[in-house]
Structure 1
Amino acid sequence: METNSFSKLLVLVFTVLFVGSEFIHCSVTYDRKAIIINGQRRILISGSIHYPRSTPQMWEDLIRKAKDGGLDVIDTYVFWNVHEPSPGNYNFEGRYDLVQFIKTVQRVGLYVHLRIGPYVCAEWNFGYMHFQLFLVDFFGFCLGFPVWLKYVPGISFRTDNGPFKAAMQGFTQKIVQMMKNEKLFQSQGGPIILSQIENEYGPESRALGAAGHAYTNWAAKMAVGLDTGVPWVMCKQDDAPDPVINACNGFYCDDFSPNKPYKPSLWTESWSGWFTEFGGPISQRPVQDLAFAVARFIQKGGSFFNYYMYHGGTNFGRSAGGPFITTSYDYDAPIDEYGLIREPKYGHLKDLHNAIRQCEHALVSSDPTVTSLGTYEQAHVFSSRNGACAAFLANYHSNSAARVMFNNKHYDLPPWSISILPDCRTDVFNTARVRFQTSQIQMLPSNSKLFSWETYEEDVSSLAESSKITVSGLLEQINATRDTSDYLWYITSVDISSSESFLRGGNKPSISVHSAGHAVHVFINGQFSGSSFGTREDRSCTFNGPVNLRAGSNKIALLSVAVGLPNVGFHFETWKAGITGVLLHGLDHGQKDLTWQKWSYQIGLKGEAMNLVSPNGVSSVEWLRDSLAAGSQSQLKWHKAYFNAPNGNEPLALDLSSMGKGQVWINGQSIGRYWMVYAKGACNSCNYAGTYRPAKCQLGCGQPTQRWYHVPRSWLKPTKNLIVVFEELGGNPWKIALLKRTIHTPANSEPDSKN
Structure 2
Amino acid sequence: MTGGALLVALLTATAVAIIGSSPRANAAVSYDHRAVVINGQRRILMSGSIHYPRSTPEMWPDLLQKAKDGGLDVVQTYVFWNGHEPTQGQYYFGDRYDLVRFVKLAHQAGLYVHLRIGPYVCAEWNFGCVRAPSVAAVTSSFFFLMQTIEFYSQSCILLPRCFNQMFSCSGFPVWLKYVPGMSFRTDNGPFKAAMQKFVEKIVSMMKSEGLFEWQGGPIILAQVENEYGPMESVMGGGAKPYANWAAKMAVATGAGVPWVMCKQDDAPDPVINTCNGFYCDYFTPNSNSKPTMWTEAWSGWFTAFGGTVPHRPVEDLAFAVARFVQKGGSFVNYYMYHGGTNFDRTSGGPFIATSYDYDAPIDEYGLLRQPKWGHLRDLHKAIKQAEPALISGDPTVQSIGNYEKAYVFRSSGGACAAFLSNYKTNAAASVVFDGRRYELPAWSITVLPDCKTAAFNTATVREASSAPASMTPAAGGFSWQSYGEATNALDDRAFTKDGLVEQLSMTWDKSDYMWYTTFVNIDSSEQFLKSGQWPQLTIYSAGHALQVFVNGQSYGTVYGGYDSPKLTYSGYVKMWQGSNKISILSAAVGLPNQGTHYEAWNVGVLGPVTLSGLNEGKRDLSNQKWTYQIGLHGESLGVYSAAGSSSVQWGSAAGKQPLTWHKAYFNTPAGSAPVALDMGSMGKGQAWVNGHHIGRYWSYKASGAGGCGGCGYAGTYNEKKCQSNCGDISQRYYHVPRSWLNPSGNLLVLMEEFGGDLSGVTLVTRTT
TM-score, structure 2 normalization: 0.90
**How far did residue 644 of structure 1 move?**
0.8
* 8 Å contact from structure 1 (residues 187, 228) kept in 2: no
Deviations 1:512-535 (A, max 9, x none): 011001011000001100111111
Corresponding position: 1:222 with 2:222: no
Structure 2 counterpart of 1:429, which letter?
F
- Give 5+ residue unaligned stretches, structure 2: 1-24, 129-166
Paired residue for 1:485?
511
**How far did residue 209 of structure 1 move?**
4.6
* 8 Å contact from structure 2 (residues 348, 593) kept in 1: no
Corresponding position: 1:673 with 2:673: no
Instruction: Name the CA distance, whole Å, in 2 between partners of 1:103 and 1:692.
Output: 36
SS in 2 for 1:87: coil
Instruction: Name the CA distance, whole Å, in 2 between partners of 1:443 and 1:722.
Output: 25
Q: Which of 667, 671, 674 is residue 648 of structure 1 equivalent to?
A: 671
Deviations 1:579-617 (A, max 9, x none): 011110111110000001000111000000000000110
Corresponding position: 1:359 with 2:398: no
Corresponding position: 1:662 with 2:651: no
Corresponding position: 1:256 with 2:258: no
Higher mean displacement: 597-606 or 500-509? 500-509
Q: Which of 695, 698, 717 is residue 720 of structure 2 equivalent to?
A: 695
SS in 1 for 2:104: helix
* 8 Å contact from structure 1 (residues 488, 601) kept in 2: yes
Paired residue for 1:734?
759
SS in 2 for 1:164: helix
Paired residue for 2:529?
503
Paired residue for 2:120?
119
Q: How does 1:293-692 map to 2 (within 5 A)?
A: 293-463=320-490, 465-566=491-592, 569-570=595-596, 572=598, 575-581=601-607, 582-626=609-653, 629-630=654-655, 634-680=657-703, 681=705, 682-692=707-717
Structure 1 counterpart of 2:123, which letter?
A
* 8 Å contact from structure 1 (residues 567, 576) kept in 2: no
Corresponding position: 1:93 with 2:94: yes
Instruction: Name the CA distance, whole Å, in 2 between partners of 1:57 and 1:378.
Output: 47
* 8 Å contact from structure 2 (residues 496, 625) kept in 1: yes
Q: Identify if the C-alpha distance between structure 1 residues 740 and 142 changes in structure 2 by more than 3 Å, giving closer, same or farther.
A: farther
Corresponding position: 1:73 with 2:74: yes
Instruction: Name the CA distance, whole Å, in 1 between partners of 2:384 and 2:522.
Output: 78
Q: Which of 224, 238, 259 is residue 197 of structure 1 equivalent to?
A: 224
Deviations 1:660-682 (A, max 9, x none): 00000000111000100111152
Q: Percent of pairs identical after alignment?
A: 62
Structure 2 counterpart of 1:80, which letter?
W
Deviations 1:324-366 (A, max 9, x none): 0000000000000000000010000000000000000100002
Deviations 1:694-742 (A, max 9, x none): 1000001011000000000000011100000000111122221100000
Instruction: Name the CA distance, whole Å, in 1 between partners of 2:554 and 2:597.
Output: 37
Structure 1 counterpart of 2:566, which letter?
S
**How far did residue 446 of structure 1 move?**
4.6
Q: Identify if the C-alpha distance between structure 1 residues 77 and 177 changes in structure 2 by more than 3 Å, giving closer, same or farther.
A: same
SS in 1 for 2:528: helix
**How far did residue 439 of structure 1 move?**
1.9
Structure 1 counterpart of 2:722, which letter?
C
* 8 Å contact from structure 1 (residues 124, 141) kept in 2: no
**How far did residue 568 of structure 1 move?**
5.0
Structure 1 counterpart of 2:759, which letter?
W
SS in 2 for 1:441: coil
SS in 2 for 1:398: coil
Corresponding position: 1:61 with 2:62: yes
Deviations 1:10-30 (A, max 9, x none): xxxxxxxxxxxxxx9870000
* 8 Å contact from structure 2 (residues 35, 291) kept in 1: yes
* 8 Å contact from structure 1 (residues 317, 671) kept in 2: yes
Paired residue for 2:144?
none
- Give 5+ residue unaligned stretches, structure 1: 1-23, 128-139, 744-755
Structure 1 counterpart of 2:48, which letter?
G
Structure 1 counterpart of 2:616, which letter?
H
SS in 2 for 1:358: helix
Higher mean displacement: 141-150 or 448-457? 141-150
SS in 1 for 2:391: helix
Instruction: Name the CA distance, whole Å, in 2 between partners of 1:439 and 1:540.
Output: 41
Instruction: Name the CA distance, whole Å, in 1 between partners of 2:636 and 2:688.
Output: 15
* 8 Å contact from structure 2 (residues 340, 363) kept in 1: yes
Deviations 1:165-197 (A, max 9, x none): 011001101111110110101111110000000
Structure 1 counterpart of 2:665, which letter?
Y
Paired residue for 2:18?
none
* 8 Å contact from structure 1 (residues 450, 642) kept in 2: no
SS in 2 for 1:620: coil
Q: Identify if the C-alpha distance between structure 1 residues 433 and 410 changes in structure 2 by more than 3 Å, giving closer, same or farther.
A: same
Instruction: Name the CA distance, whole Å, in 2 between partners of 1:614 and 1:209.
Output: 47
**How far did residue 572 of structure 1 move?**
4.6
* 8 Å contact from structure 2 (residues 513, 632) kept in 1: yes
**How far did residue 466 of structure 1 move?**
3.5
* 8 Å contact from structure 2 (residues 660, 752) kept in 1: yes
Higher mean displacement: 118-127 or 377-386? 118-127
Instruction: Name the CA distance, whole Å, in 2 between partners of 1:146 and 1:348.
Output: 39
Structure 1 counterpart of 2:223, which letter?
Q
- How many residues align structurally? 703
Q: Identify if the C-alpha distance between structure 1 residues 384 and 337 changes in structure 2 by more than 3 Å, giving closer, same or farther.
A: same
* 8 Å contact from structure 1 (residues 279, 535) kept in 2: yes
**How far did residue 536 of structure 1 move?**
1.2
SS in 2 for 1:365: coil
Instruction: Name the CA distance, whole Å, in 2 between partners of 1:122 and 1:33.
Output: 29
- CA RMSD for the aligned pairs? 1.5
